[in-house]
A and B are shown apart, each in its own frame.
Chain A
């Protein structure tokens, strides 16, 4: 008799526990640590931001966020790797326009622009066009005139093929109808080193990369690819205000595989929205010369779609 009773009680307890666990899994996402994948090598702006984000993340998700660096193929290896993980919101990609919007459309990569779903944009940087202090041009007007008078003689540094700094120069060449010679150095570090050393005359880089050199007088700020001048470089005008309409935002944002449930995406988005207001986060983000331009998953999704269409149009017009 008593054995039977115990059995019944036991099975009831097990059933209850299982039901509870199942409902908890649905309601309490996340119930295990989240992996945050940076597709670039350590040391760049992405891994720096990822370090800041993952260290302050835990209170906003109720679970630790683990930073994983998965470099290779200019970001393609990390992006493809995230798509191999289950679409359950536990594996996030720290993306950008290069790997999410541009390269899948113009290169043969193992994924497409539609394979990801937007979660949250953390911030963006514009590109700042710069020239050597001793270059034969000091502003956008004389730079374009020089390029027109000397086709293929204006030599500029580029980071990577189809990268952010590469794209803004393509835009400039397209909009001004000029021909310039870009040298691909494979990263912001060597690209800036070669303009400082005198091998190239111009470059376009993130404010954090070029600002100190503009302030020290080695480089001259030509224009910024944003709607407003960048706060740390108030004297550098926007390209748009100078009559050459180039707007390009290098955003840093979180994306997940496209089959991730909407309820999970909105939860993650809400978590990041609170995270970017964290005091420690803001202090550090200021120190690394960055800032917050948060967009939730809906607005970010709209931006992403528009950007992908714009870049597609640009590349088709260049053909």
Chain B
């Protein structure tokens, strides 16, 4: 029970109005940043981190942790209200969330997303506090072949769950992987598909493409409806019921399972919230009693996706704190902020700076509570976003899209990528090819490619390396099972045709 003592000490350390105020400011700012398409948590934390260098650690770090957490949650708000995920990690949330909002059940979707996020975050934070070291010791044993199989599994899940047709999903995944090949070859350094353009040397920028595909294409769809005056679906039932205890109780197993998945995947260095939300969503759809309504307004789907991506946030701190290895770009920036405070993440961190670390853990718990209270209050107003006249809402979102696409890399070339993404996204929506697989495949393909090539370099080109590791072999069997399942369902559909 030494941990509890430490935690009590930690709470004492951060129980100053300064620490709590900055954490709250960070949280609110983070939610806004996450909710605006194009402003990313990474960017916000990277821009603001240098300012914390000059603050005391009990003020600077809580501020950054608040932003981190707020931004991960914030992405789900526009995903639900206007079918435009603010971050890639919220793409799975949009599948069901936006449908619920259109059915006039926006409040239910928003509250489910909030509560699932808070519970998942809480579970993952407790894992961070109590078993960070043992979990990190397991996670670090994951070798390149194991990661290869994990990526493959995630891609299969995404292709299978995000549309009506596995074939169209797989097509979208393939297209995304092809687009990810643009840029410098990670191993040999040769240029691939850059057509001699410096702008493509770094590959197709993900965030502008994501903004175009999700946000701009939605705007085009809405503009088309508006033009034809068929925009009749303003939520009639704006007094929509929220999340009641009975529904929550039914959702708990999904939330807990997804939290577990998110926590474990988050602890693996290099895998982010984007993978976890899809694996959680995919597993939830298979375990659900009502798999047929996934993608057509399933509350369970929203809960699974949101629990899956929010659990990653505290869990990604595990490899960072235990080994000094950042799990994603945000934790890499946080690592820098820790170092600037004289807290060197790594094996000696807990021994040397125990009290203050527990102070940060306490902040994670406190901000979670703040998120719940603040979120429930805000949702009363947020649910009305769907009632803003489209003539005002969508031009506003368009401006944000352009601003966001430019801000990521300070590059005007990214506007072309965004617009091209918007047009492509519009065509995909029209033809029923799901967009999320493309974007997520583009995000994951470099990791998959690197791990395949690392494995094959290790084995001198012998493919047996992918089944020799027990972890990889198990994941491979899972992937094959899932592929068989999806293919079966694709050829022998049992679903009712989608009502449109």
Contact = CB atoms under 8 A, between A and B. Distances in A.
B49 interface: yes
Interface string B446-474: 00001001100110000000000000000
Contacts of A215: 348
B189 A51 contact: no
B140 interface: yes
Given A41-B332, A81-B198, A190-B270, A155 B458 contact: yes
A216 B184 CA distance: 36
B450 A193 contact: no
Contacts of A189: 269-270, 325-326, 332
Interface stretch (B101-109, B110-118, B336-344, B373-381): B336-344
A50 B191 CA distance: 28
A72 B53 contact: no
Contact of A197 (B143, B202, B453): B143
Contact of A51 (B53, B140, B319): B53
A205 B325 CA distance: 13
Interface in B298-350: 319, 323-326, 329, 331-333, 335-336, 339-342, 344-348
Contact of A48 (B143, B319, B336, B409): B336
Nearest to B50: A51
A199 interface: yes
Interface in A188-228: 189-190, 192-194, 196-199, 208-209, 212-213, 215-216, 218
Nearest to A287: B342
Among A51, A208, A280, A284, chain B packs the most CB atoms within 10 A around the CB of A51
Interface stretch (A63-71, A127-135, A293-301): A63-71
A243 interface: no
B174 interface: no
A198 B269 contact: no
Contacts of B51: 55
Contacts of B339: 48, 208, 287-289
A238 to B, nearest CB: 24
Given A48-B340, A73-B202, A74-B184, A107 B189 contact: yes
A181 interface: yes
A80 B189 CA distance: 16
Contacts of B331: 43
Given A190-B270, A288-B340, A43 B187 contact: no
Contact of A77 (B45, B202, B324): B202
A44 interface: yes
A184 interface: yes
A91 to B, nearest CB: 11
Interface residues of A, number: 56
A194 B189 contact: no
A184 B186 CA distance: 8
Given A55-B54, A213-B347, A287-B339, A184 B454 contact: yes
B144 to A, nearest CB: 6
A47 B329 contact: no
Interface in A276-317: 280, 284, 287-289
A162 interface: yes
Given A43-B332, A55-B54, A199 B347 contact: no
B143 A199 contact: yes
Contacts of B140: 193, 196-197
A161 B457 CA distance: 14
Contact of A287 (B183, B184, B198, B341): B341
Contacts of A155: 458
B431 interface: no
Interface string B39-55: 00011011001110110
A110 interface: yes
B347 A183 contact: no
A51 B325 contact: no
A196 B323 contact: yes
A193 B329 CA distance: 15
A65 B281 CA distance: 45
B488 interface: no
B459 to A, nearest CB: 11
A161 B201 contact: no
B142 A197 contact: yes
A186 interface: yes
Contacts of B390: none
Contacts of A255: none
Contact of B325 (A74, A193, A198, A216): A193
Interface string B159-194: 000000000000000000000000110111111000
Given A72-B202, A107-B189, A161-B188, A212 B143 contact: no
Contacts of A252: none
Given A70-B409, A110-B201, A216 B348 contact: yes
B272 to A, nearest CB: 13
Given A43-B335, A161-B186, A213-B324, 18 more contacts: A42-B332, A48-B336, A55-B51, A70-B411, A71-B202, A72-B183, A76-B201, A161-B188, A183-B144, A184-B453, A184-B457, A185-B454, A189-B326, A193-B269, A197-B141, A197-B143, A218-B347, A289-B344
Interface of A: 41-44, 47-48, 51-52, 54-55, 67-74, 76-77, 80-81, 103, 107-108, 110, 155, 160-162, 181, 183-186, 189-190, 192-194, 196-199, 208-209, 212-213, 215-216, 218, 280, 284, 287-289
